[in-house]
Structure formats: C-alpha cells, structure tokens
Copies of this chain bind each other. A is one copy, B any other.
Amino acid sequence: MYRAKCTLLGRPLPNDELEHQRLGKPTALAVFASDALSSTAYASEEIIRALVLGGIGLAAFNFVLPITLALVAVLVILMFSYRQTIKAYPSAGGAYVVTKDNLGLLPAQFAGVALLTDYILTVSVSVSAGVAALYSAAPALHPYRVPIALFFIAIITWGNLRGVKESGKIFAAPTYFFLFSIAFMIIVGVARALTGDLHAVANETMPTVTKQAGIFLILHAFASGGAAMTGVEAISNGVPAFRPPEWKNARSTLMVMGSCLAFMFIGISWLAHIIKPIPTEDKTVLSAISTAVFGTSPLGHAIFLIIQGATMLILVLAANTAFADFPRLASFHADDAFMPKQLTKRGHRLVFSNGIIALALCAAFLVVIFSADVTHLIPLYAIGVFTSFTLSQTGMAVHHIKEKEEGWRAGLVINALGALSTGVVTIVIGVMKFMHGAWVIILLVPIMVYALMRLNKQYEHEHDELTRESREALARPVLRRHVAVVLVGDLDSSVATGIQYARSLRADGLRAVHVAIDPARADTLREQWLDLNLTKVPLDIVHCPDRRIDRALIDVVLRETAQGDTEVSVILPRLHRHRWWHQLIHDHTANAIARSLEGIEHVNVTFVPHRIAEL
C-alpha cells in the first residue's frame, strides 16, 4: 500500500522541506489566477443571456459594455482593497483570518463557510463548463460527460496531492496559453473593427428594439456577470505560498492578475457589443466572437479550434485555484476548532491531503447530482464569494480604525468603499438570483455555521474535560481486580494465540466466551473444548438469537464490572493478512465490538494478532 502511495504521489517529504515548497511569481500567477481569468469565458455571455431573456431585442447589446465597466469598477475597488489586506496580513490573510481578527469568530465562520461553498462550486462549475467545451467540439463524448468531469476532478486531485509546486508546473502552460489566445483575439478584433472590417452578425429573428430596458433587468444582468469576480480573493488567501518577500510578490501578482482580468473582460464585452452574437444552446458567445474575428478560412478555423481548446483547458484547470485554497482555508477553521482536526494534518507531500480529498468529493457529488450541467449550477455561484468579500473588507476597515498604522486614513477609505460596494453587489445577487438557486446557499451557509459552532462547543468541552485534574488523575491507584475474557469463534490457532497472551497477563480471572448465533455450532465447540481439558480457561457459551454479538458481550463484561473495582480486558484474536484485499474479505466484527464496549468504563479491548503465513 505504502509503496503504491509513493509511486502515485512521489517520495514522502519530511517536515523540514515545508519551507522550500514556494512559488515564483509567474508560477503563482498560473496557480492562483486560472479561476479569475477563466470566468471571462462565460461572464460576458451570462450578461448577454440575462439581457436577451428580458426581451429587449438587439438593444440588449447596448448594455453589455456599461455593465461590464460597472463590474470592472468593482474589480478595481477589490484589487486595491486586497492590496491593503495582503500587506496587513502577510502570513495568510483571506476573508477568514481578517474577519476573525477584526469582527470576531462568528462572522469569520460565515465568511469562511461562504467561501468554502464557493470553492466547491468553482470546481463543479469550471470542470462542467470545460467538459461542455470539449463535447461541443466532439459531440460523441456528450453521453460520457459525467465520467469525463469526474476524471478531470481526479486528475486535478492527484496533481494537488503530489504537492503545490508540482501542481504549479502542470498548470502554468494552460493558463498562459489561454491568456495569450484571448489577448490575440482581442487585438485582432480591435484592429479589424478600427479598419471598419468587423460587422455585426446577421440576426434575422431578433428585432432591433422591442421595449425599454428596466432597472430590474439591468440589475439581473449585473448579478449574472458577478461570477467574473470569483477567484480574485485567491491570492490574499495564499500569501505564504509566495517566495519571500511574500507580501510584495503577492501584491504585484494580484495587480497583474486584476489587469489581465479587466483587459480580457472589457475586450470580450466590447467585441460582443460590435458583433452582437445571440447565445444559443450549442454555440457560446466566445466561440461566436472568435468565428467572427478570424473568419471561416482554414487558418481562421484552426485559430478558432485553438481558442476553444485553450478555453476548455483553462476552465478545467480553474478548479485548481479552489484546490490551492480550500484545504488551506479549511485548515484555518480546524486550527480554531471549528472544523474536524484532521483538516490540519499535512499528508505525505506536506499538503493538506484531507482538505483536498474533501473538496474533490463535494465537487464530484455536485457534478453527479447536476449531471455536469453548468446552467443549473451557475445561480448558486458568486453569492458566497461576495459575502466573504463584504465581511473581509468590513474587517479591514475596522482594522484601520483599531490599529491606526501609517496611512490608515487612506486605507480606511479604500476598504470602506470595498465593503460598501461588495455589500451592495451581494444583496443584488441574492435578490436577483434567489429563485434561480441562490436560496440553496442562503439557506445552507447559516446551517453550516450552526453546525460548526456546535462542533466547536464539543471540542472545547472535550478539551476542558481532558485537562481538568489530569495531574491528579495520573496518580490514581490500580484497581483491585483484573479479569481477562477471550472471545472464541472457532477452535483454531488464532484463539490459541489469544489465550497464550491472556495467560501472560496473570489476571485474577481468565475465561473464554463464545457468543452463539448457531446453537448447533456452539454444542460442537463445547464438546471440543471439554476434550482439550483446558481447566485453567473455562468456556462460557452465551446465546444470542438476535445476532447482536456486541450486546451479548456487554452483558458479559457488565457482570464482571458489577463486582466493583475491576479492570476487564476483552481479548479479541484477529487474523493478520499481508495484502490489503485479504483484509476486505473478512468482516470487521472485531472493530464493531471494540466500538460498542468502549462506552463502559474500565473495559479495555485488546487485539491479539495472529499471523497467517503467506500463500
């Protein structure tokens, strides 16, 4: 098993190599930006879809660019807000830590959970959209979209389990490939438009103007475009993954990422405004733009295919941002005892393996439930990330007021503006998308936060119980009496090993117990036992017609502990096998018994292994 793990994941990394797993700026951009950049593949389209569904005809395209610019304004505010955060929290900022520090633990749970749900959706949406791009090019793959999406998730999971540096290597090329393809398309498109060579596509079915666009329609379109902003927070959450000086490198990477995102988003929306492509079931706006810009010549078609391929790749790999951030954020929750402690453990390759696996399972679940259908996933998206933006920016504003560091007044203005604008966007998305699916998130996040609070209470309670009077407990005297009970299934050599061990305990009482489900078999066993003449180890047969062996054994041990001041050792002989599949084929009664006996004080379960020679 371990050898297989090493083959799959690479050699194990010792603790002292943790420091060296850092990312240079170009690699960091690839790891953290793919989520944000990939959203340009569908953000303009989502705005157009919302407008076209409003039934305002071709007038819809007059609003694409203004709405895009409004969203880019929010993006610019966010970028400058997060510059503040990265500097103030260089040892890993992100919504959770910032909110906790300034607003307290409860708001931090909201910020964290909202972000975690969004990371899960990032994986499901991006992978599904990537697979959709694939089967749009190769329709024969359509029936296999769910297994293909699961395969992609598996590949990304594997890459991340191997470690963050390696995953940077895998993902750098596709991110830059997408970036340059789209930039090339925008430049060629702008050049053709300036020479008057780029025209709107024919739309016979669509009237020029049907009716006036209402404020509701424009806000709905704005909310749809909000998905473009997911992923902007990724860098602030991952500052420690940068090479020193971490905060400076993270800041400049953030500015590069934001500029690229703004350039691509405006460029695509502007081209859409010129070309006016109506979104259909089987042709995305991006692909329609690309066809219009490069034409239908063989060269144009080749470039079209390259752009489609780059889009597919970036969408599938956008999931990687979530894989970089979800486990780290979950480990923050767990460090504060608001999530299971297992999430703080570093695995074989020093990454938070449990968080990676949890994310993969949740995302795979959504992909299966929604049959990898992007349309049904999209309305759940973006609300979580804007909730965490708002809380984190509010936290930063409070931070400036409290700390009053140099330049705090400017910082306060920036972060207050950030909090206000993202707060407004959160409300807009929540209201506009409520009926389309946002209600799931609005319902789920508070429930999750409640669960985490309960969990935290339990952890605190356990910690109190364990540490209270532990010094006195360590001086407790030994109990007066010690009884050993060996569980016997059949008369075989594993039982012999168990009895041999039990006798070495020199207990005050020693006996064998057989829990009888089949009375005939019990009779045979009794006779065989008498034949053996093992006078020192009498055999008790306990009948158990309801097949609940654990309950029958509890009765047996309770009779012993009833005598008071007694320590009971229940001895379970257990076969040891060499291969993992040999373990699977035997039942796990022994484990189940150990679990049920655990509830009784001074009843201890010992597994005595009996080795079977290899075949």
Is there an interface contact between B369 and A585, defined as CB atoms closer than 8 Å? no
| Given A146-B369, A470-B496: A459 in contact with B585 (beta carbons within 8 A) | yes
| Given A12-B546, A461-B612, A606-B606: A497 in contact with B482 (beta carbons within 8 A) | no
Chain B's closest residue to A474 (CB) is B496
> Is A524 part of the binding interface, using a Cβ–Cβ cutoff of 8 Å?
no
Chain B's closest residue to A463 (CB) is B492
Q: Which of B465, B505, B545 contacts A505 (CB 8 A)?
A: B505
Contact sample, A vs B, 14 pairs, CB 8 Å cutoff:
A12-B546, A14-B546, A340-B584, A341-B586, A341-B587, A368-B368, A455-B585, A461-B615, A467-B492, A474-B495, A479-B504, A576-B598, A591-B591, A606-B607
Is there an interface contact between A599 and B612, defined as CB atoms closer than 8 Å? no
How far apart are the CA atoms of A465 and B613 in the complex, in Å?
A: 8
> Is A212 part of the binding interface, using a Cβ–Cβ cutoff of 8 Å?
no
- When distances are taken between beta carbons in the complex, the residues of chain B under 8 Å from A599 are 576, 578, 609, 611
Is there an interface contact between A503 and B478, defined as CB atoms closer than 8 Å? yes
> Is A252 part of the binding interface, using a Cβ–Cβ cutoff of 8 Å?
no
Is there an interface contact between B609 and A598, defined as CB atoms closer than 8 Å? yes
Interface residues of A in 550-575 (CB under 8 A from B): 567, 569, 574-575
How far apart are the CA atoms of A129 and B345 in the complex, in Å?
A: 45
Q: A16-B545, A457-B615, A461-B615 are in contact. List 14 more A-B contacts (CB 8 A).
A: A14-B545, A146-B146, A342-B586, A345-B587, A466-B494, A473-B496, A474-B495, A474-B499, A482-B504, A482-B505, A501-B602, A576-B598, A598-B607, A601-B611
Question: Which of A70-78, A370-378, A393-401, A416-424 faces chain B?
Answer: A370-378
| Given A14-B545, A496-B473, A585-B341: A605 in contact with B604 (beta carbons within 8 A) | no
How far apart are the CA atoms of A491 and B469 in the complex, in Å?
A: 11
How far apart are the CA atoms of A517 and B466 in the complex, in Å?
A: 21
A90 to chain B, nearest CB (A): 22
> Is A147 part of the binding interface, using a Cβ–Cβ cutoff of 8 Å?
yes
| Given A14-B546, A495-B470: A458 in contact with B605 (beta carbons within 8 A) | no
> Is A476 part of the binding interface, using a Cβ–Cβ cutoff of 8 Å?
yes
> Is A280 part of the binding interface, using a Cβ–Cβ cutoff of 8 Å?
no
Residues of A within 8 A of B (CB): 12, 14-16, 143-147, 340-342, 345-346, 368-371, 373, 376, 455, 457-459, 461-462, 465-471, 473-474, 476-479, 482, 490-497, 499-501, 503-506, 517, 532, 534, 545-548, 567, 569, 574-576, 578, 582, 584-587, 591, 594, 597-613, 615
- When distances are taken between beta carbons in the complex, the residues of chain B under 8 Å from A145 are 371
Interface hub of A457, A459, A493 (most chain B Cβ within 10 A): A493
How far apart are the CA atoms of A597 and B505 in the complex, in Å?
A: 19
Main secondary structure of the interface of A (DSSP, over half): mixed
- When distances are taken between beta carbons in the complex, the residues of chain B under 8 Å from A567 are 501, 504
Q: Which of B458, B471, B584 contacts A582 (CB 8 A)?
A: B458
Q: Which of B146, B370, B466, B598 contacts A368 (CB 8 A)?
A: B146
Is there an interface contact between B15 and A471, defined as CB atoms closer than 8 Å? no
- When distances are taken between beta carbons in the complex, the residues of chain B under 8 Å from A496 are 470, 473-474, 476
How far apart are the CA atoms of A612 and B464 in the complex, in Å?
A: 10
| Given A368-B146, A496-B470: A585 in contact with B458 (beta carbons within 8 A) | yes
Is there an interface contact between B476 and A340, defined as CB atoms closer than 8 Å? no
| Given A146-B146, A576-B598, A604-B608: A468 in contact with B493 (beta carbons within 8 A) | yes
A35 to chain B, nearest CB (A): 25
How far apart are the CA atoms of A466 and B598 in the complex, in Å?
A: 29
Is there an interface contact between A466 and B478, defined as CB atoms closer than 8 Å? no
Chain B's closest residue to A551 (CB) is B2
A165 to chain B, nearest CB (A): 18
How far apart are the CA atoms of A599 and B576 in the complex, in Å?
A: 6
- When distances are taken between beta carbons in the complex, the residues of chain B under 8 Å from A607 are 594, 598, 604-606
| Given A371-B143, A461-B612, A545-B14: A340 in contact with B466 (beta carbons within 8 A) | no
Is there an interface contact between A493 and B479, defined as CB atoms closer than 8 Å? no
- When distances are taken between beta carbons in the complex, the residues of chain B under 8 Å from A612 are 461-462, 465-466
Chain B's closest residue to A337 (CB) is B585
- When distances are taken between beta carbons in the complex, the residues of chain B under 8 Å from A575 are 462, 466
- When distances are taken between beta carbons in the complex, the residues of chain B under 8 Å from A600 are 609
Is there an interface contact between B459 and A478, defined as CB atoms closer than 8 Å? no
How far apart are the CA atoms of A611 and B602 in the complex, in Å?
A: 10
- When distances are taken between beta carbons in the complex, the residues of chain B under 8 Å from A490 are 466
A148 to chain B, nearest CB (A): 10
